[in-house]
Structures are given as structure tokens and as C-alpha cells.
A and B are shown apart, each in its own frame.
Chain A
Amino acid sequence: MIVFHRKRSDFHMEAMAYFREIVTTDRRIQELKESPRMVVGVFCNFVPEEIIYGLSAIPVRLCSGDFELARLGEEVFPRDVCSLAKASVGMAVGNHPLFERLDFVIIPTPCDAKKKLCNVFRSYKQVHVLQLPPCKHETEAQRFWVEQVWKLKEKLEELTGKKLAKNGLKEAILVLNRRREAFMRFLEIRKLTPPVISGKEALMVTMASFYDDPERWTEMVLRLCEELEEKRSNGQFICDIFAPRVLITGAPLVYPNFKLIDIIESAKAVVAIDDLCSGTQRLYQPTIVKEWSMKEMIRAIAERTLLPSMCPCFVENEDRINRVNQLVEEFQVDGVIHHNLRICPLFDIESASIHSELKRRNVPCLVLSTDYTYEDTQQIRNRVEAFLEMILGRIAASKGRH
């Protein structure tokens, strides 16, 4: 079902180099240009990719981390909109080759900027608005969401001129569940200390899945796991056992906006794990289907795309702090950095409760607000370095007392 763009060279190259190529070069854009299949632009993790693959189309995630595109986006969006939304507008305004290749776009409605993005994009592409409920745990919200997913299926059938076949959808679910299994194996390796992969490289692996063919991605992740296990047995660690292990939570970090992660990792710490929607959250949950009927598959896909989300757009969001607590335990985390994307009030508001809950559990937490610009690099570096000194000071003090 899925057209496989296998290049011979993929299997002679180090797996990490492959992911780097997918994220940082136009290789994938070239492949998509040559592909006869429909290409669908999506935002967030709310859009059910299974349905798109099930109709032989290809989803690509448009959330952008590009500073230059954010600046371009200011031609249309006001300055006081978050960098991510502005950069996404910039893709349209700046005739970005990936955007140009799109046949249509699906935009969910988690925040005001995304809602208004729908209107902007309509001047360039056909847009489908995927409406989100504000309280994901309410029964009527879930019913509403399942309806939205059905509506999306119908819309996609209309646009592709195809009927979604039961077997096609089933195969897509299985392919994406296998992708998730490979990702979970990768996470197991990241739990071990000292680490064999940096947080930046790990985020690139996840980000490659924004665009890549899922079967090829899965195969390459499994290869990466083998390579990392070999590195581990050869003792090729990226830092020593004393390097502080940091968890990043909060607003998404998307290539090339690796400013924060670069600052952390150049200060001799390692980003052991994240819970970002551009990272771990994206591939964490499988779709659990009880029987292979269309109705049940759609229900299961709707469940996977709504309930596990830890987006602060929902009124209640205890899921995020619970996940952070769980990951702190599992990944031997020494401190949490909460990333706020300037002008996004949702993460900003939630950061206070995350900070105080972690403080109660005696887990150091640093809240940072930044955007795609570089003007605050020194200030961010200063706070991060002070935070790492604090972590090391606390570890030394607790060892001294025991």
C-alpha cells in the first residue's frame, strides 16, 4: 500500500545520518515532488494519519521552527503571535517548496493562532478545519470528536476521489503501530545511563517522522537501535555518568529551533527525554482496535488522537504533570526545564502548576520563555547554566550528607 522510496544508499549509511538528512535537507521534498500520491499538510498530533495513509495519500506535518519563515509570516500575522504560527504562515507567504507541493491542508483548532491560520491558508490551498472540543474527558466531547473524525474521513474520500477500504485502514493502523513499537524500543535505550545518543539527535529522529515514509522510518529506527546498542557495549557514551539528565516539557521544539536544546547540551548536560508534542508525545500511544470494523477502527483512531494529548488547550490537563512525573522516574531525570513559547499563554499559564508540583516532589524545575529569535541566547544560557549548577550542587550536598 505504501510506496516505498528505498534508496540503496540508506542501508550503507549510519542510521543517524539518515534521520539528519531527512530533517535538514530537501531530500524528502524531492521524493514527494516525484511521488504521484496526494500530499496532505497537517498540524499538531490531532490529525489521524491512518486515514490519510489508508487512502494512499501522504501526510506531512507543517509545524515549523524556522526563524526566517517566522519573520516572513509577520507580513500577514501580527508580530504578537507565537513564532510557530508565524513560521507556518511564512511557509505559505514564502512559497516554501514543501507547502507548494501540498494538495490540501488539515488544521486542528487548539488555539487562536491555529484557528486564524485556517483563514490565511485558504487563500493558498484547500483547507479542512478539524474542530477540537475544549474538555477532552467529557462524554459529549468524545462523541463530538468521533464525529469530527468521520467528517474528516468523508472529506478526504471526496478530495482523493477514493473510498476508504477497511483493509486499507487496517493496514495503515498496523503500519503506524509498528512505527510506535520501534519508537518505544528506541526510548528503552534512552533510559540507560550514561547515554549513547543526545537529546538533539533523538528529537531529530522523531521529527523525521513528520515527513518520512513510516515503514522506512521504522526500519531505520530499528537499525539505529542496533547501532546504539553496539555503541553501548563498546562503551561509546556521549557524556559521563555525572552529566545532569534533563527532561524538557512545554511548548514544541521543532527543527531548526534547537536553540534551547543546544544550550543545554553544550553546558555538559543531556536531554534524556522530552514530553513535547513535537517529540515523545507524537509516537507514544498505539491505536488499540478491538475488532476490525470500520466503526471500531474510526473510534480507536479518534481515541488515540484525542485522549493521550497533553496539549494545554484542554481545560483539564493533569495528564501532562502525570506523564512528566512518570518520565522523571523512568529516565532517571535530575531536573525539568519547562519551555514556554513566547506569546502562547496556554503553556505559560500551565507552567506555574507544573513548577509547583515538581517542587513539591523535590524535582528541580526551571521555567524559560523564549521564541525563535537569537537575541536572548546569552540570557537563556545563563539560566540554564545556573540551573545545572544548582542540580550538581544539590546532588553533591545530598551525597555529602549520606
Chain B
Amino acid sequence: MSYYGGVDVGSVSCKAAIIDASKQLVASAIVPTGASCREAAHKALSIALQRNRLSIKDLAAVVATGYGRDSVEHRLFSVTEITCHAVGATHLFPKTRLVIDIGGQDCKAIRVDEHGVVIDFAMNDKCAAGTGRFFEVMARALEVDLGDFGAMSLKASKQIRLSSVCTVFAESEVISLIAQGERVENILFGLCLSAAERVKRLAQKVGIAEEVTVTGGVAKNVGFIEALSQLLGVKMNIPEEPQIVGALGAALIALEKSEKKANA
């Protein structure tokens, strides 16, 4: 049996996914990227392999993606995360027409056609607004565990509109709301709405489509997903493990390229 690996070296975490020849996900792993992309990639791939009692020799091909993609060892080649997220998301949800990926330090909107081919994309520009970083900073300011952020925000009793989308200004706005005695849950949902607003504007650049798949770590935040679906008003798919969709896409590309080579 041949296996195919995908490694997605992101700014915050490094993800690995392994699939078999029938495109089934057999193992995955997520580790912090830290200071060395190379080591993080090696570690993520090793953990994923161990989970399925495999070794690097069992991998027919590895494709790397993410900002640290060019420092991944054993890679057949590199592909950008835009292509990989599109491939991964349309594999999981074939009717996807818009992929919204929200990672640690950036977010992107990727429009795909009915064949899963990327037709347009937009990325936020050098700014933490509406990214994983934004939620991290706000959780700290509100002394809330990042894992509880979403669930708590859904208990909001009213909708607060924050005027700033900038992480730095939003933080000081949050601090003054706390000082005014505003309920933490309300502030949390207000932050989700403000991040969703930002993501909506990005999605509008490529065109909002009837079926959206959200990937990346922030997709785990149920409050943000609720806010985004309120704003977009369309069906939203959330993968079981949204963080590894890019790595999955990379593994699928590794399989496809190997098959093409074998047929050539």
C-alpha cells in the first residue's frame, strides 16, 4: 500500500496529513512551528507516521505548503496554501464554491468553480485583524481561555458593535468596555462579529458563493462561525479538523502528481 504525505508549515503551527491511495486520511498531526520550519515539519510528519505505525519509506511522495514550505525535507515539490486549501476543502465538501481560511497570521478567501479549480483569491494585507492572532490577543485581554472563547460568546445577551477592526485599537476598546462593566460574553461576541465583518469584506472581493467551507484554526471558534454565518447568510461547512485541510490538500496533490507520473 502506498501512502502520500502533506505538510503545511504555518506561521503558528505546523500540520501534517497522510492519506492512502484511496484518498482516505489515515493520520494527521499538529505541532507548534517554533523557530525552525524544517524541524517542525519533520516532527509533525514523524508523529503522524508513528500514529499509523508507518515510516518515511512508506510515503510515495510528500508535498509541502504554507509559508515555510521551501524548507521541508523530502518534499517532491512545494505548492502555495491557496491551492492546497482549495483542493482539501473541495475534497471534503465537493459543492464548496468559496473557501475561507483563517490561520494564525493571515486570512484568505478562495473562490473555486464547479470543478474545484481556483478562479480568484484575496488575502488580508499585513494585518492581524480577523486572524488567529486577533483572538489570541483578545482572549488574553479578557482572561478567557482561547478554547472557551466561542462557546462563551454564544451566551451573549446583546450585540455590541466594536468600532475598531485593528487588533491594537480593538484591544484598548475591549479594555474600556470591561471598565464600563460590560458582560464578558457580550464583548466576546462583539469581537467575533468584528472579525467576521472583516472576513466578509475579504470574501466580497472574490464574490460570496452559495456554499462556503471554513478552514484554519479559527474555524473551531463557534462564536466566530455563528457571527460569520449571520453576516454571509449562506451554508457553511466546518471540517472535523479544520486546521489540517491545507496539509490534506498537499497530500492529495502528492497523490495526483504521482498517479500522473505513473501514467505518463
**Which chain A residues have a beta carbon within 8 Å of chain B's beta carbons?**
355, 359, 364, 369, 376, 378-379, 382-383, 385-387, 389-390, 393-394, 397, 401
Contacts and interface: CB of A to CB of B under 8 A. Distances in A.
Contacts of A379: 123, 126
A378 B81 CA distance: 13
A145 to B, nearest CB: 36
Interface residues of B, number: 17
Interface string B13-46: 0000000000000000000000000000000000
A364 B120 contact: yes
Interface of B: 67, 79-83, 113, 115, 117-121, 123, 125-126, 205
A369 B121 CA distance: 15
Contact of B83 (A359, A376, A378, A390): A390
B120 A359 contact: yes
Contacts of B120: 359, 364, 390
Given A390-B118, A390-B121, A394-B117, A385 B80 contact: yes
Q: When A and B form their complex, which 8 residue pairs have the shortest distance between CB atoms, in order from nearest?
A: A386-B82, A386-B80, A397-B117, A390-B118, A389-B83, A385-B80, A393-B117, A397-B115
Contacts of B115: 397, 401
13 contacts: A355-B205, A364-B119, A369-B125, A386-B81, A386-B121, A390-B83, A390-B118, A390-B119, A390-B120, A393-B117, A393-B118, A394-B117, A394-B118
A393 B257 CA distance: 13
Contacts of B82: 386, 389-390
Q: Which residue among A369, A379, A393 has the maximum number of chain B CB atoms within 10 Å of its CB?
A: A393
Contacts of A359: 120
Q: Which residue among A359, A376, A386 has the maximum number of chain B CB atoms within 10 Å of its CB?
A: A386
A386 B65 CA distance: 11
Contact of B80 (A355, A376, A389): A389
Contacts of B81: 382, 386
B125 to A, nearest CB: 6
A397 B82 CA distance: 17
Nearest to A375: B126
A127 to B, nearest CB: 36
Nearest to A369: B125
Contacts of A376: 126
Contacts of B118: 386, 389-390, 393-394
A383 B117 contact: no
Contacts of A397: 113, 115, 117
Contacts of A389: 79-80, 82-83, 118
B244 to A, nearest CB: 19
A383 B119 contact: no
B245 to A, nearest CB: 16
A85 B119 CA distance: 35
Nearest to B68: A378
A259 to B, nearest CB: 15
Contacts of A369: 125
